[in-house]
Structure 1
Amino acid sequence: MPKTPKRQESPAKAPHDIGTVELAPITDEMRKAYIDYAMSVIVARALPDVRDGFKPVHRRILYSMWKNGLRSSARFKKCASVVGDVIAKYHPHGDSAVYDTLVRMAQDFNLRYPLIRGQGNFGSLDGDSAAAYRYTESKLETVSDEMMLDIEKETVDFAPNFDGAEKEPTVLPAKLPNLIINGTLGIAVGMATNIPPHNLGEICDAIVALIDDPSMDINGIMKYVKGPDFPTGGIAYNKQDILAAYATGKAGIVVRAQTEIVEESSGAFRILVTEIPYQVNKATLLERIAELVQTKKIEGIRDLRDESSKGDVRIVIELKRDAYPKKVLNQLFKMTQLQDTFHVNMLALVDGVVPRVLSLKQMLEEYIKHRQVVVRRRTEYDLAKAKDRAHILEGLRIALLKIDQVVDTIKKSKDRDDARANLIKKFKLTERQANAILEMRLQQLANLERLKVEQEYKEKTDLIKELESILKSEKKMMLVIRTEVVDMRKSFGDERRTKIVAGPVGEFSMEDLVPDEQTVVMMTAGGYIKRLPPDTFRAQHRGGKGVAGLTTKEEDFVQRVFTTSTHTDLLFFTTRGRVFQLKAYDVPQGSRTSKGQAIVNFLQLAPGERVAVTLSMDDQDATKHLLMVTNKGTVKKTALEEFKNMRRSGLIAITLKPGDDLRWVEPTSGSDEVVLVTKNGQSIRFEEADVRAMGRTAAGVRGIKLKGSDEVIGMDVISPSLAKKGQLELFTIAENGLGKCTNLQEYKVQGRGGSGIRAMKITSKTGGVVGAYVSSKDDDRDLMLISKKGIVLRTPFKSVPTLGRDTQGVRVMRFKEIGDLVSSVAFLTAGMEEMEGEERGGGE
């Protein structure tokens, strides 16, 4: 390499000479400058401190407002004043950066627990910006008061501001675990953070549990913290993804909007969106849906409206009559931000300088460590103040006990300084005690005032002992923190907004969260479904008027009621001969008078397709086949095994002829008998063996020959052995509320396909038959009758008398309103508790 020529030094410096210049490689200089810049961004701008959950700008805004008296109980003040004070004293950056941060801390759709209370326009979910800071006003929220609590007691360190004229806290006392409950988003240099918000009540419960058991693992913590709790609600999916996020600090959590498919009075369907995923711009979402409709990537949407009001989201998506509601909704989830992924990255500064990805347990532990420091420093501060006051009170006690000598000493002194010196010398006081005695007023010589001094002295000595015991015992200090956390939960805890689904998207396996218990499932003819606890309905006497069991829409009525357990598979057979499968707990639980939800929210039904039969698959060990019956008398038998592998889009259960609808499906053992009853009172009883087993796509064979407009209205499967012993009866109920039981031996076994024999005498008094069931004579179950107007009657089945085959029956149900009719009937398990506070219905 050529040698660098030596530089000749001038004997004298030129007037413009700047001195010695050090040569340095530009790569080293750029590396050093970039590292300095990166650390500045990481520590002083983009990442939050794990202790209080704030970046410097958030902390400075809250401290400035607190110092200027803008507490939650104070009056509002212009945001321009707050922004100006923050820039002038603490944050030497642009006003827009400070104001945007202030606005975000006031938005209830951005923070789960807003820290600032705003007055004026502070933006919206549509991405609208806030009004200029000269128009808006603000003050601290109550939770922010808790964040600043005890800051004046030297609980945190203070550092000089940018010009040394003021001091600012390096961290806040943070009584609330702000980083976890409000989350944060930040992009630094080479790293980023994205922490989801959580429910305060759940986090407080987890902190208390961790204090009680520091060895608790993440699974134990997740017994209390179910998952993120976003301010905009929604549905978060997959317990495994949430567990991964909490265990490692990184994972993606799928979040869906809260939607419901409802039916309009015209028969068309609409999709209602009432909650959207966190940080999704509602206006952009609507534009995206409109774009997909215009480009025909999604078909079936007729209209799109935003009916949202302040604080409430309501997006209405009206569908065309030939659209598949569930299919359209799934397309929206796939192609729009109605389904989004929240990428968790729990990165924060530990000890104020070290960026680390933390698990949920580590975050909770860092919060507890910070509170230990704060409580210790606060206790030391309170102890010093208490000792100082006790020291003064000791001097006052001496003066009050020897008041005559004290007064005499003061009177003989030349001046205040001489009096102070004489008091110190004569009574062995400190200078501060002597000054306190000299400042005593004559009113303190009264007996009551002397008692106050003694009482205060006792209180201070007791307080000193308590504070010293806290400082000496870590257990007591943790108990103080625990008590404060419990108090926070009582003051600020609220209900969870985001629903957590244990399984991944599209799967609803929540068996680990749902207890296996009895439940009643109700469905209406209009396709609305719900489930209820069995003890919702009390037992009544025969002839009672019942209680309201469902609020139906106009011209709708309850059609089917059955009991099952929450973990049981339900098979839904439609009028078009298709079958779908759901778990019983997937059916939403409602109140006694609620309408329920449309079944199209759960099943991909075609336009005009309705659920005809809902079959509970509990206790089906002896079942070999499913026997299907249509309203035109067609019967078909198919092996149960053919329904094991279910698709979300459903399976074909039977091929139907034009005008024929599937109405009944019952499990059989292969050697049972079948009873069919028609609306005009005809019945037929034949052996199951007369119907050969067929494939799923077969059309079936004739079960009963119908006359005129007659149709099958009821069917049941019976055991031949029980029928021969005379233990079985055929129960029939007519639409005007008359019913009866008839011994099954009165119905002879015939060949399949005949016209049958009379089962009930039909007159204008009875009306047509609406239901028929086979039961035993000693059946101790309750009978539940539902009218078309939603009235439910529950009465012991034994109260229905046994009559002849060709009779009308007796009054089983009376109606409150003229024109009401029985719509459906079901049996309930005996032993269910009665509802309290209700009178029994009168008997006949």
Structure 2
Amino acid sequence: MLTEEEKNAGLEGRIIPVNIEQQMKSAYIDYSMSVIVSRALPDARDGLKPVHRRILYDMSAELGLYSDKPTRKSARIVGDVLGKFHPHGDSSVYDAMVRMAQEWSLRYPLIFGQGNFGSMDGDSPAAMRYTEARMRKITDEVMADIDKETIDWTNNFDDTMKEPTVLPTKIPLLLVNGASGIAVGMATNMAPHNLGEVIDACCAYVDNHDIECEELLQYVKGPDFPTGGIIYGYEGVREALMTGRGRVVMRARTEIEHTASGRECIVVTEIPYMVNKAEMIKKIADMINDKKIEGISYINDESDRQGLRIVIILKQDAVASVVLNTLYKNTPLQTSFPVNNIALVHGRPYLLNLRDMIRHFIEHRHDVVVRRTRFDLQKAEERLHIVLGLLIAQDNIDEVIHTIRAARTPDEAKTALMEKFCLSELQASAIIEMRLRALTGLEHGKLTAERDELQKQIAYFNEVLRSEPLQMKIIKDELLEMKEKYSDERRTEIVYASEEFNPEDFYADDEMVITISHMGYIKRTPLAEYR
């Protein structure tokens, strides 16, 4: 209620009393929905969050930084994205851009970075004024056909220009690169997969829309992490693909080697995804110093440009398999990836399994192909209309020249041509602007050939628009082309059978002598001590 002073001050009617509880509730819901939809969760169609989509769109359409163009300063790209599409902190844009260029963060990086873009040790990238970037070849496919009215557009933050609501990607980015993000009241954590496997699954779905999720597991074996490593046990992988939630156990790839002095050493060549190498080595070293892990002499990081290599040299009497199991149990050499496939479908968050993610991508591609065909058909019909007008002019060239010369103004000439030869305004304009060289026999032959080609194209486009099986064939052919161009071998091996650690894994397999005294005491002595 208003006080007497406020009423006397003329504030009655201008101040609206509200319930603070309701106000806070509605304001928080608005905020949380904004974070969910406009920041933290990827779209199920193109697999991108708004910041990634804006960076890629700005690099392609605004700055023209395609894969065959020279790199441009990162500060220029970040500034352009901030000023036109993403009015938030510059670090949020630069960090997102850097991650898209890191080969250990994305299975198929979308940006080519020149300069220091960080490392697996958690080193920060160089400041944006020092680094440069451009799109990679695979990103050209993500942006393909964006200028053919294939997607919907919306106003940017200050209504001065348009930005895409989704990209017309030919690559199923949500599955191949995964995503992670924390919204309000929900989070997403999607694993990356192998492009070849995902495209095979997409083709299987195109051939049979009723295919079960179980059958798609024949094609997508499981996550394929950019850092390689080993997936230990299949049950968590299967659960994640079938339900959208699961726990994937990841292990480093290790080998047992011998030093020149004959001592055994464990060599780590691949580490689990998202594990910070420097922190992992520090943790192992701390555990060695604290005597929490026995049998290790010292640990050394020998990684270089050729690849990752961490050497763990063992003590003389240590058993490599026992030390390795201890490392798996107590250090990030074994860690888990909690899968939580939440993405936006029509602007609302949903938990998606493998089949759902493939279905939304194929539906998006279907929409893109239909809209692209409509656009191409319209352009072909418009051009055919002009070509037919030019051919009429060539067949009646003397009359056309006479009509134009008799007119006082271009508009008058245009009107006269339209009346005399039953032409449209577009055709008449094209005839008036025609160059004299178009009168040669060679140009006539070119126009005739163009007319025939356009008529063939129009017939084909109309057939595509009438036939859904033909549309699906186009989608499948384009997917197989992407597989041919960009697919590679799996990096992550899957060990299907796995068990939890049991106590025997942490003890060497040595021969022992068991002694029992008259009093009932039992003693265990290694046989080697008797020697």
Return the TM-score normalized by structure 2. 0.93
Matches within 5 A, 1:40-189: 40-67=34-61, 68-189=63-184
Determine the structure 1 residue equivalent to 2:440.
446
Q: Does 1:435 align with 2:435?
A: no
1:76-120 per-position Cα deviation (integer Å, ceiling 9, x unaligned): 111010111111111111111111111111000000000110000
Give CA deviations for 1:365-401 in whole Å, capped at 9, x if unaligned.
0000000111111111111101100110111111112
State the match for 1:332 in structure 2.
327
**Residue in 1 aligned with 2:276?**
281
In structure 1, C-alpha distance between the alignment counterparts of 2:338 and 2:359, rounded to whole Å: 23
1:146-201 per-position Cα deviation (integer Å, ceiling 9, x unaligned): 11111111111111111111211111111111111000110000000000001111
Q: Identify the residue that residue 369 of structure 1 maps to in structure 2.
A: 363
Please name the residue that 2:468 is paired with. Answer: 474
Distance in 2 between the 1:381 and 1:656 partners? 83
In the TM superposition, residue 13 of structure 1 has moved relative to its aligned partner by: 4.9
The equivalent residue for 1:265 is 260
Equivalences for 1:203-602 in 2 at 5 Å?
203-310=198-305, 312-351=307-346, 353-505=347-499
| Cα gap change, 1:18 to 1:154, in 2 (>3 Å) | farther
User: Is the CA contact (8 Å cut-off) linking 1:254 and 1:505 kept in structure 2?
Assistant: no
Whether the aligned pair in 2 keeps the contact of 1:383 and 1:467 (CA below 8 Å) is yes
**Rg comparison, structure with higher value:** 1
User: Whole-Å Cα distance in 1 between the matches of residues 272 and 12 of structure 2?
Assistant: 61
Report deviation, 1:220.
1.6
For 1:333 and 1:477, locate their aligned partners in 2 and report how far apart those are by CA, in whole Å: 50
| Cα deviation, residue 414, structure 1 | 2.3
Give the 3-state SS of the residue equivalent to 1:151 in structure 2.
Answer: coil
Aligned partners of 1:323 and 1:606 also within 8 Å: no
How far the C-alpha of 1:404 sits from its partner, in A, is 2.0
What's the CA shift string for 1:604-652, capped at 9, x where partnerless? 8669x9xxxxxxxxxxxxxxxxxxxxxxxxxxxxxxxxxxxxxxxxxxx
CA contact (8 A) 1:104 1:111 kept: yes
More helix by share: 2
Query: What is the DSSP-based 3-state SS (H/G/I as helix, E as strand, rest coil) of the residue aligned with 1:103?
Result: helix
Kindly state the Cα deviation for residue 217 of structure 1 after the two structures are TM-superposed: 1.4
Match of 1:792 in 2: none
Which amino acid is the alignment partner of residue 477 of structure 2?
A: T
Counterpart contact for 1:257–1:339, Cα < 8 Å: yes
Matched letter for residue 243 of structure 1: R
- Tell me if structure 1 keeps the 8 A contact 2:323–2:506: no
Give the C-alpha shift of residue 215 in structure 1: 1.8
Contact 1:50 1:363 (C-alpha < 8 Å) held by counterparts: yes
Indicate the RMSD between aligned Cα atoms, in angstroms.
2.2
CA distance in 1, matches of 2:314, 2:442: 82
One-letter identity of the residue aligned with 1:373: D
One-letter amino acid matched to 1:288: K
CA distance in 2, matches of 1:184, 1:379: 31
CA gap 1:308/1:10 in 2 versus in 1, 3 angstroms? closer
Relative to structure 1, the CA distance from residue 74 to residue 18 in structure 2 (aligned partners, 3 Å threshold; closer, same or farther) is: farther
- More contact order relative to length (CA 8 Å, sep ≥ 6): 2
Task: Give the letter for the 1:98 counterpart.
Answer: V
CA contact (8 A) 1:325 1:605 kept: no
Separation in 1, partners of 2:17, 2:439: 81
Distance (Å, rounded) in 1 between the aligned partners of 2:351 and 2:224: 20
* In structure 1, C-alpha distance between the alignment counterparts of 2:452 and 2:444, rounded to whole Å: 13
Moved more, 269-278 or 303-312: 303-312
The 2-side partners of 1:8 and 1:326 are apart by: 83
Q: Which moved more, 1:308-317 or 1:65-74?
A: 308-317
Q: Does 1:195 align with 2:163?
A: no
Written as runs of structure 1 = structure 2, the 5 A alignment for 1:660-699 is none
Q: What letter corresponds to residue 297 of structure 1 in structure 2?
A: K
In structure 1, the partner of 2:32 is: 38
Aligned residue for 1:133, secondary structure, equals: coil
Please report how far the alpha carbon of residue 504 of structure 1 lies from its aligned counterpart in structure 2 after TM superposition: 2.5
Amino acid at match of 1:303: Y
Q: Please state how far the C-alpha of 1:413 moved relative to its aligned partner.
A: 2.1
Deviation at 1:503, TM superposition (A): 1.7
Please give the alpha-carbon distance, in whole angstroms, between the structure 2 residues aligned to 1:332 and 1:263: 19
Shift in alpha-carbon separation, 1:69–1:505, aligned structure 2, 3 A: farther
TM-score scaled by length of structure 1: 0.59
Query: Are the equivalent residues in 2 in contact too, given 1:413–1:419 (CA < 8 A)?
Result: yes
- For 2:516, the equivalent position in structure 1 comes to none
**Secondary structure of 2:462's partner?**
helix
Report the CA distance between 1:658 and its aligned residue.
Answer: 8.0
With over 3 angstroms needed to count, the CA separation of the structure-2 counterparts of 1:27 and 1:382, relative to structure 1, is same
Whether the aligned pair in 2 keeps the contact of 1:247 and 1:360 (CA below 8 Å) is yes
| Aligned amino acid, residue 81 of structure 1 | R
In 1: Cα distance, 2:428 partner to 2:478 partner: 40
Distance of 2:215 and 2:7 partners within structure 1? 79
1:306 Cα deviation (Å)? Answer: 0.3
Distance 1:302 1:11, change over 3 A: closer
Cα distance change on mapping 1:149 and 1:81 into 2, 3 Å: same
Deviations 1:693-714 (A, max 9, x none): xxxxxxxxxxxxxxxxxxxxxx
- Give the distance between the partners of 2:275 and 2:509, measured in 1 at CA: 31
Residues paired across the two proteins, number: 513
C-alpha separation between the residues in 2 aligned to 1:180 and 1:66? Answer: 23
**Cα gap change, 1:505/1:392 in structure 2, threshold over 3 Å: closer, same or farther?**
farther
Letter in 2 for 1:371: R
Shift of 1:8: 6.4
Greater per-residue strand proportion: 1
Q: Look up the SS of the partner of 2:356 in the other structure.
A: helix
1:26 aligned onto 2:29: no
8 Å Cα contact 2:6-2:12 kept in structure 1? no
Distance (Å, rounded) in 2 between the aligned partners of 1:107 and 1:45: 21
Cα distance in 1 between the residues matched to 2:41 and 2:78: 21
Structure 1 residue identity aligned to 2:173: N
Amino acid at match of 2:351: V
Q: CA deviation at 1:657?
A: 13
Q: Which amino acid aligns with 1:192?
A: A
Q: Does structure 2 retain, via aligned residues, the 8 Å contact 1:391–1:433?
A: yes
Whether the aligned pair in 1 keeps the contact of 2:325 and 2:506 (CA below 8 Å) is no
Counterpart AA for 2:108 = Y
Q: Percent identity?
A: 50
